[in-house]
């Protein structure tokens, strides 16, 4: 497994790879969710590359950039067991040299939900992902459904800028009690960790109602909201039932299904989760 930091070394290593390349972009502090992406990439490509970069431009001024968990040594140990060909862990200066002023902005689908709560977040994500696609020229890139809006933004980006690659979305990996895996779960104390199970419980309640025939989006959103309200440590930021492609809020869940998503603060930790209803 080659571990590189500079663009120049990455380009040289990329040129030496023949056959398809699957890229798994990450911010490190890898967990089973990331590893499921690596496994899928391994199964579908001749070569697998992983990027590890805590991208400063996707964090707001009052967000957790400085304390975001990092453990490159452990990440590399984990990846060594997954037959990864190439790991790229650049410095911020490598990706954002002095004078950097070019941004990629995906407009409409970046605006609601996470984009509304975290202004500038998706501009940072889209910019770094475009740079990664340019640097690796992968045949496929793998992202987790946990960041559902991010996937919608990146699919739009890839189409609009004609990146010749396939975006592969992989299912959310959960703890046995339903909590979606996230590097940020490490922030939760024991009491908050227990309280955080309310996210998936709330989504499951609405999913069961949908399975029983409920199609009124207001009713589904309200069900999620009232389940969240039962947990004293949880503070809802938003609950959404939106069109899975445009992310416009729905009145009724039609044949195109719905992305039911939420953001919740548990203590000081911000968590997100989602489920697709009537997945096409
Ligand atoms: O999902 C993430 O870990 C990040 O947003 C990504 C896609 C690696 C871009 O920094």
**What is residue 203's predicted lDDT score, i.e. its pLDDT?**
98
Q: Which atom of ligand 1 is nearest to the CA of 125?
A: 9
**What is residue 44's predicted lDDT score, i.e. its pLDDT?**
98
Contact 242, 258 (CB under 8 A): yes
Active site residues: 34
Give, using CA atoms, the residue closest to atom 3 of ligand 1: 26
Q: Where are the domains of the chain?
A: 2-170, 183-274
**What is residue 280's predicted lDDT score, i.e. its pLDDT?**
62
List b or e across 129-162, with b for residues whose CB sees 16 or more CB atoms inside 10 angstroms. bbbbbebbbbbbbbbbbbbbbbbbbbbbbbeeee
Give, using CA atoms, the residue closest to atom 8 of ligand 1: 26
Q: Which fold has domain 183-274?
A: 3.30.1300
Per-residue confidence in pLDDT tens, the chain, 280 aa: 999 999 999 999 999 999 999 999 999 999 999 999 999 999 999 999 999 999 999 999 999 999 999 999 999 999 999 999 999 999 999 999 999 999 999 999 999 999 999 999 999 999 999 999 999 999 999 999 999 999 999 999 999 999 999 999 999 999 999 999 999 999 999 999 999 999 999 999 999 999 999 999 999 999 999 999 999 999 999 999 999 999 999 999 999 999 999 999 999 999 999 999 997 6
Out of 3.40.50.620, 3.40.50.920, 3.40.50.300, 1.10.150.570, which CATH number does the structure's domain 2-170 have?
Answer: 3.40.50.620
212 by Cβ neighbours in 10 Å (0-12 / 13-18 / 19+) ranks as exposed
Write out the H or E segment, with its range, that includes residue 8: helix 7-15
**What is residue 96's predicted lDDT score, i.e. its pLDDT?**
98
Beta carbons within 10 angstroms of residue 251's beta carbon: 10
Q: Which atom of ligand 1 is nearest to the CA of 26?
A: 8
Instruction: Report the distance separating Cα 141 and Cα 51, nearest Å.
Output: 11
Give, using CA atoms, the residue closest to atom 9 of ligand 1: 125
**What is residue 45's predicted lDDT score, i.e. its pLDDT?**
98
Beta carbons within 10 angstroms of residue 26's beta carbon: 24
47 forms beta bridges with 21
Handedness of CA 173, 269, 71, 16 (dihedral sign): positive
Please list every protein residue whose CB sits less than 6 Å from any atom of ligand 1: 25-27, 55, 58, 125, 128-129, 147, 150
């Amino acid at each position: 497994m080659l571990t590189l930091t500079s663009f120049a070394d990455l380009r040289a290593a990329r040129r030496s790879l023949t056959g398809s390349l699957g890229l798994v972009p990450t911010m490190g502090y890898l967990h089973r969710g990331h590893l499921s992406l690596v496994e899928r990439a391994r199964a579908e490509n001749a070569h697998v590359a992983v990027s590890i970069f805590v991208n400063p431009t996707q964090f707001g001024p009052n967000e957790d950039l400085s304390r975001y968990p990092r453990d490159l040594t452990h990440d590399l140990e984990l990846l060594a067991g997954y037959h990864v060909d190439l790991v790229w862990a650049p410095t911020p200066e490598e990706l954002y040299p002095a004078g950097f002023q070019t941004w990629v902005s995906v407009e409409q689908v970046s605006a609601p939900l996470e984009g509304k709560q975290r202004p500038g977040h998706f501009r940072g994500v889209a910019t770094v992902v475009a740079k990664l696609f340019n640097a690796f020229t992968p045949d496929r890139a793998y992202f987790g459904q946990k960041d559902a809006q991010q996937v919608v933004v990146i699919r739009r980006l890839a189409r609009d800028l004609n990146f010749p690659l396939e975006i592969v979305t992989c299912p959310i990996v959960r703890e046995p009690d339903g909590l979606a895996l996230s590097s940020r779960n490490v922030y939760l104390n024991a009491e908050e960790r227990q309280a955080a199970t309310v996210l998936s419980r709330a989504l499951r309640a609405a999913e069961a109602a949908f399975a029983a025939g409920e199609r009124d989006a207001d009713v589904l959103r309200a069900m999620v909201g009232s389940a969240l309200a039962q947990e004293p440590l949880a503070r809802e930021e938003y609950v959404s039932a939106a069109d899975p492609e445009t992310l416009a809020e729905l009145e009724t869940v039609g044949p195109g299904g719905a992305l039911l998503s939420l953001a919740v603060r548990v203590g000081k930790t911000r968590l997100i989760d989602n489920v697709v209803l009537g997945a096409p």
